[in-house]
Structure 1
């Protein structure tokens, strides 16, 4: 296998080569390689060399997830050495090769996508958000860090009620490794080529998920910031205490931005309900959604009244005293009305 890697280096014709380890592959180096090759101009068309041979790795322009070195000046991005403890700014999770590459190259990736300088506020906002929503889970998985403190869970006597199938980003990549009893070509070069082919598939697969996140946060999430900020600034038009926010034009991703705006203006109090049209047309029905206690929580700060829950249409009109009612979910976290005026009336009644 080392011979095969050496031949590939010799036929590189002076181009850039990225080195990573061969053998069982993981999500972190699969994504690290993808980000470099697909999103950093220096590495466009870069050759991949999968080996643990130090001499071959020394010949590579960049090495990720192997080699025992973290030296950005020399393009070395390993995290396995005993002395390594680097984290993303303002986060506690130790980085893997994915986090290292993203920390150093992510601003450039986002800046090019947005057409803005790397040090702009919007680039920094998306850079941090993508790390927290996507990359950090890979770092934790590769470093064996649980999302919850195992000792705390044991002390509380908590147990999983069912299996979630373990289908994480890391598991998705892991499933692309060969099975233990799959046949292996007898020729070492052919065996390495087959393994490399699987890695390329894994790198492309997780890269597609990264690209979806990149597109979402640059094209949808970031533009929503202005929409939510405008609505947040006008919230006292509907309630003197600012507990109702209205997204006038259409629904937009609002939770992250709302929590951030509240943190920036704690004196303004907490928002309880967000109103928005189902679609951007004059005849659209309106939704009233309760703000969760936290972004991923199923618990609302103030659920819609218990007496309304699970009812619809005319029956709900009679119970709520608001005409045009469409529904209130049985869990009380969302409801609907045929008009904005009706949804606002529901929100005001629910405040009491």
Structure 2
């Protein structure tokens, strides 16, 4: 597939995440010449214009185009809605239409819709611990108030950064699709009902949620560069279905080996969500011990303390 040449345009002045990401999307499928201006005569002569001048890709009018869930499109969403599937086809021509739809919807939901919401004045709920979002990161490329003649230069830097994020997200989703067959095979051939063993790491979470209808899997084993790892699986509530035993927490090498009786055990994370052993048999033994350990039940005092911490953080 060859890229066509297009003259594209958006407004000048302070830039935001929506037109930055829209530019990155267009650059994936076209050879572009970008003009940033508010001059209507200039914009009217361009092939694609967005976030300014009215028209198909300008969301500033009264009659906004809305998603089914009620989130209005910004120029980013409008451009993605029109050209997103072509971007994915350029990325990997072997994908079928169902896979393209799956990736398209994933990018829209996980990347584009948040940009659209914030640009349209819809504030996304603040977490207890503030997190940077893609909109603030891209807007942060604007030149400082005392910097002159850097607007277009910084815009281009922001577009380059946005393109890396877009491509990473698409590549990740393609890798999830390609890993599904491997995950299904590991799930169906497991020797311990609660444990899925992968011969090497691949993104398994999404596929496992789909195939493990009875929520049997508690742990996943996979080989890293130096040893084998045992990792917990999170349930629908986002919490580990079963943490690794408390006695293992933060212990390494000989100390962990003495506690577990597994001679080649190497470490257990303080968060009790991952542990390691040199051999496959060693890591399977750690898995068996974890399965045998009784489930923990949060005490009433622990619930009260957790609630109190949340109140303190909010204040």
Q: State whether TM-score is above 0.5.
A: yes
1:141-290 equivalent positions in 2, closer than 5 A: 141-148=118-125, 160=129, 166=132, 168-183=133-148, 195-218=151-174, 220-235=175-190, 237-239=191-193, 243-247=194-198, 249-262=199-212, 266=213, 268-279=214-225, 285-290=227-232
**CA deviation after TM superposition for structure 1 residue 140, in Å:** 2.8
- Residue from 9, 30, 49 that aligns with 1:19: 9
Question: Secondary structure of 1:330's match?
Answer: coil
Query: With structure 2 as the length reference, what TM-score do the two structures score?
Result: 0.80
What value does the CA root-mean-square deviation take over the aligned residues?
2.6
Q: What residue is the counterpart of 2:295 in the other structure?
A: none
**CA deviation after TM superposition for structure 1 residue 95, in Å:** 2.4
**CA deviation after TM superposition for structure 1 residue 294, in Å:** 5.4
- Residue from 78, 88, 93 that aligns with 1:115: 93
* 1:312/1:177 CA distance change after superposition, 3 Å: closer
5+ residue gaps, structure 2, are 293-315
Q: Partners of 1:172 and 1:147 in 2: how far apart?
A: 15
**CA deviation after TM superposition for structure 1 residue 134, in Å:** 2.7
Cα deviation, 1:202-257, whole Å, max 9, x if unaligned, reads 22232232233333433x3332222222212223x222xxx21111x211122222
* 1:257/1:147 CA distance change after superposition, 3 Å: farther
Q: Partners of 1:94 and 1:271 in 2: how far apart?
A: 39
* 1:77/1:18 CA distance change after superposition, 3 Å: same
* 1:310/1:30 CA distance change after superposition, 3 Å: same
Q: 8 Å contact 1:328–1:336 — kept in the other structure?
A: yes
**CA deviation after TM superposition for structure 1 residue 274, in Å:** 0.5
Q: 8 Å contact 2:256–2:265 — kept in the other structure?
A: yes
Q: 8 Å contact 1:116–1:123 — kept in the other structure?
A: no
Question: Secondary structure of 2:267's match?
Answer: strand
Q: Partners of 1:180 and 1:315 in 2: how far apart?
A: 56
1:129-144 equivalent positions in 2, closer than 5 A: 129-144=106-121
Q: Partners of 1:321 and 1:99 in 2: how far apart?
A: 55
Q: Partners of 1:128 and 1:232 in 2: how far apart?
A: 26
Q: 8 Å contact 1:286–1:337 — kept in the other structure?
A: yes
Q: What residue is the counterpart of 1:189 in the other structure?
A: none
Question: Secondary structure of 1:217's match?
Answer: helix
**CA deviation after TM superposition for structure 1 residue 121, in Å:** 2.2
Q: Partners of 2:15 and 2:244 in 1: how far apart?
A: 48
Q: Partners of 1:56 and 1:318 in 2: how far apart?
A: 75
Q: 8 Å contact 1:245–1:273 — kept in the other structure?
A: yes
Cα deviation, 1:7-45, whole Å, max 9, x if unaligned, reads xxxxxxxx7321211211112111212221x222xx32x
| Residue-pair matches, total | 288
**CA deviation after TM superposition for structure 1 residue 183, in Å:** 4.1
Query: With structure 1 as the length reference, what TM-score do the two structures score?
Result: 0.73
**CA deviation after TM superposition for structure 1 residue 269, in Å:** 2.5
Q: 8 Å contact 1:126–1:222 — kept in the other structure?
A: no
**CA deviation after TM superposition for structure 1 residue 123, in Å:** 1.9
Q: What residue is the counterpart of 1:39 in the other structure?
A: 28
